[in-house]
Structure 1
Amino acid sequence: MHIAVFNQHHHNPDCPATCRHYTFIQELAKRHQVTLITSDGWRRTRITSQYPWVPEGVTLYECASPYANKMGVVQRMKSFSHYGAYALAKGLTIPKPDVIWAVSTPLTTPWAAAQVATLRNVPWVFEVQDLWPRFPIEMGAVRNTQLQRLLYRIEEKLYKAASQVITLSPDMSGYVYELGIAKDKVSTILNGTDLDLVDAVQQREVEELRQKYGLTGKQLVLYGGTYGRANAIPALMQTIQLMASDKTIHFVLAGNGYYKPQLEELAKRVPNLLLLPPQPRHQVFTLFKLADLSLVTFNDLPVLASNSPSKFYDSLACGTPVLVTNPGWTKSFVEEHRVGWYAPAEDPLKLAQAIRQALSEPAALESAGENGAAISRELFDRKLMAKQVDAILQTAARSKK
């Protein structure tokens, strides 16, 4: 079977990113012909050079289309539009695929896939990584009400046009159902993690990192990810300041993004904050194993309660409990499986209280970590998830025939 993958944000394990689709297409390419249509936006972020840019056997088509979290709305729209036009043109000229797999965000990616699918009479699968346009609208990036309505109409048409829909969380699936999309057309495949990379971490590497940064004897709270406008970074900074006098608790933040300058200024003023540069995918798990507690923070917006952040899965797979701040499915998950705690989003005082409470109970921390590691083996293995994706793509391909 020939699978054409439309994904603007392709990255590999040398990048500071989740690499969900790298693992998936790597597994799919063992059994199928895979063509990837992408941009070079993330290629520029490579920190190491240990992995090929695309897995063996994958045919690559790539346009020059810069992208970064710090971009403003206009810059992002230019990047999205440029890739969408490239994907449409390239999708019409590559050898005809049996099925197209479009990975959103943004909406321009599934839009291009839908046009190619129609013109070439090919079924397509719509994977929803974030709820667009709901996400940029709730974040205030799209204020024009007429444009909002237009984007919602496009979104609904794309869901209906796709042969199959993949979401990354049960809350996302619920949103799609509410649009009138049949449940048998929608599959929830969690973001997941790379258990082989988790298992590759040696304890000596963890201890070397602890000694390198003078963290021996400290309880470590990690935030590993984007310093973006959706990640409640201002509230997290206030929490760090509230806890600056506690000499036993140290915050470690590793990432990049919009709030990096403010975090650098804060690190100069407080003694309990260590800022590290972004980590390549294959090294980030050492940090998660170093930490006693991991933070998964987001703004207090309904759309963000449905998301499926990679740091959530990476932390649990490493046996590190999580503290989440959104009242959606992640809160339900940590409470049901006893793998962490919840604190209200954008409430620095309550976040500080929750951190102190969690770290004051060593037995509960250990139990939550063990539970997280166990449930990860059962639910978060991306190599098993790749088989689910394979089955969905084959179902879509058969539906057209």
Structure 2
Amino acid sequence: MKILYFHQYFNTTEMAGGTRSYEMAKCLVAADHEVHIITTWREPTEKTDWWQESIDGIEVHWLPVRYDNTMSFAGRIGAFFKFALKAGQRGCRIGGDLVFATSTPLTIILPGYRAARRLRTPLVFEVRDLWPKLPIAMGALKNPLTRWLAICLERFAYARSDAIVALSPGMAEGVIQLGYPEDKITIIPNGCDLDLFTPSEVAANKFRTKHPELGTGQIILYAGTLGRINGVGYLAQLAHLMKDRFPEVRFVTIGHGSEAERTHQLAKQLGVLDVNFFQYPAMSKQELVGAFAAASVSCSLFIDLPAMWANSANKFFDTLASGTAVAINYQGWQADLIDEHECGVVLNADPDKAADDLSLLLSDREALAETGRRARQLAQVRFSRDKLGQEFVSVLQNAYDKSRQV
């Protein structure tokens, strides 16, 4: 098959951010499919129009459209629709046998549907977040008309798709509740890159050597977006509460986002900045390997918002793959996994109570190491990227085969 793969935020392992589309596209290429990624280049560039390059057998079509987590809501919406318009045109010119569109943003359905309809191909849609449920819950979509339009777009996406891939059971349930047939939904969560994140003392030592300010004590890591929904100030509060209990422990954030400066200022006010709390800019996934290897605990964090419990955060699965104990501060299916497989801790949303939970985890180093081993085992058994990639290829192949039977 020749596959048009629409994703506004495509990244390789040499870039900062999630790499699911890159990994899944490689699985498609390995299965002898021709894959064209239609995406954006978000960094500053002198280029003003499309350009194309081949990456590991994937044909990547870049369009320069500025976007980052610090932009205003209006600025982000503008970026979404600019890409949607031009991506649809690009897809129609490239042509293909199947269209795959992955959110967020939900506006990705517009170029996906346009290309699928023009080319008369099946359309498979991937749900990475229950949008617009999340921005509505966060108060980002306040205008009733905007909310109504967003809900209509969500229903349009599901109704026009021949099959849907959901990243968690909660996301699948959200789609089903809107009337989409359950038998057309496949749950394929974010996977674990077992080769990239193989536990390595060499990588851990390299990271510590590069950052001598961290010392030799235990590291509590947060590697991901510092956005409003993540509430990473929670980690600065934990660092403050833990400073006297475990003075050698270091709390580390790696990433960027709209709340980075606010988190920085909070840590400074609490007297922990560059004492036991350290902030570093975003790193590529390859660079993060050493950070995960050095960490004793790695966190996935969100503000206290039940709408986020269905998430499938990359950092959670990278933690499992690295054989590191995982800590989260929310409920849902990931909390159930942690409890069932004893691979980490579900922290209380209240930092004062969470400090007690974290202290208990850190106090027994032997038990903590065993917790990390169980995390790696869960990654191998349930979330191998290779296994999930094969399921993904099958979903697209089945959608194509069914379209040819009509």
Task: Give the alignment's TM-score, normalised by structure 2.
Answer: 0.91
Q: 1:372: how far off? A: 0.7
1:257 aligns with 2:257: yes
Q: CA RMSD in A?
A: 1.9
1:95-244 maps to which residues of 2 (within 5 A)?
A: 95=95, 97-199=96-198, 202-211=200-209, 212-244=211-243
CA distance in 1, matches of 2:244, 2:188: 42
Q: 1:277: how far off? A: 2.3
Q: 1:253: how far off? A: 1.3
Question: What residue identity is the alignment partner of 2:326?
Answer: V
1:321-400 maps to which residues of 2 (within 5 A)?
A: 321-345=325-349, 347-400=350-403
Matched residue of 1:367: which SS? Answer: helix
Q: 1:230: how far off? A: 0.7
Q: 1:357: how far off? A: 1.5
Contact 2:13 2:285 in 1 (8 A): yes
Q: 1:262: how far off? A: 2.8
**Cα distance 1:43–1:10, how it changes in 2: closer, same or farther (>3 A)?**
farther
Structure 2 gap segments, 5+ residues each: 46-51
CA distance in 1, matches of 2:389, 2:156: 27
CA distance in 2, matches of 1:154, 1:18: 25
Q: 1:245: how far off? A: 2.9
CA distance in 2, matches of 1:35, 1:208: 36
Q: 1:303: how far off? A: 1.7
CA distance in 1, matches of 2:61, 2:323: 38
**Cα distance 1:299–1:263, how it changes in 2: closer, same or farther (>3 A)?**
closer
Contact 1:267 1:275 in 2 (8 A): no
Of residues 253-262 and 215-224 in structure 1, the stretch that sits farther from structure 2 once superposed is 215-224
Contact 1:65 1:79 in 2 (8 A): yes
Question: What residue identity is the alignment partner of 2:20?
Answer: R
Matched residue of 1:286: which SS? Answer: helix
Q: 1:187: how far off? A: 0.6
Q: Which residue of 1 aligns with 2:34?
A: 33
Matched residue of 2:255: which SS? Answer: strand
**Cα distance 1:215–1:60, how it changes in 2: closer, same or farther (>3 A)?**
closer
CA distance in 2, matches of 1:277, 1:197: 21
1:289 aligns with 2:293: yes
Q: 1:213: how far off? A: 1.9
CA distance in 1, matches of 2:17, 2:393: 23
Q: 1:81: how far off? A: 0.5
CA distance in 2, matches of 1:118, 1:351: 51
CA displacement, residues 140-176 of structure 1 (integer Å, 9 cap, x when unaligned): 1110123212211221221121111011111111111
CA distance in 2, matches of 1:42, 1:27: 27
CA displacement, residues 283-341 of structure 1 (integer Å, 9 cap, x when unaligned): 21211111111111101112211101111111111111111111111111100111111
Q: 1:53: how far off? A: 6.8
Q: Which residue of 1 aligns with 2:82?
A: 82
CA displacement, residues 231-283 of structure 1 (integer Å, 9 cap, x when unaligned): 01232222222223341321111111112223333555322112222221112
Matched residue of 1:198: which SS? Answer: coil
Q: Which residue of 2 aligns with 1:47?
A: none
CA displacement, residues 20-54 of structure 1 (integer Å, 9 cap, x when unaligned): 1111112212311111111112687xxxxxxx975
Structure 1 gap segments, 5+ residues each: 45-51
Matched residue of 1:236: which SS? Answer: helix
Q: Which residue of 2 aligns with 1:63?
A: 63
Aligned length: 391
Off by >4 Å, runs of 4+ in structure 1: none
Contact 2:84 2:107 in 1 (8 A): yes
Q: 1:128: how far off? A: 1.0
CA distance in 2, matches of 1:276, 1:352: 23
Q: 1:193: how far off? A: 2.4
**Cα distance 1:56–1:214, how it changes in 2: closer, same or farther (>3 A)?**
closer
Matched residue of 1:83: which SS? Answer: helix
Task: Give the alignment's TM-score, normalised by structure 1.
Answer: 0.92
Contact 1:25 1:55 in 2 (8 A): no
CA distance in 1, matches of 2:303, 2:54: 34
CA distance in 2, matches of 1:255, 1:9: 16
CA distance in 1, matches of 2:114, 2:215: 56
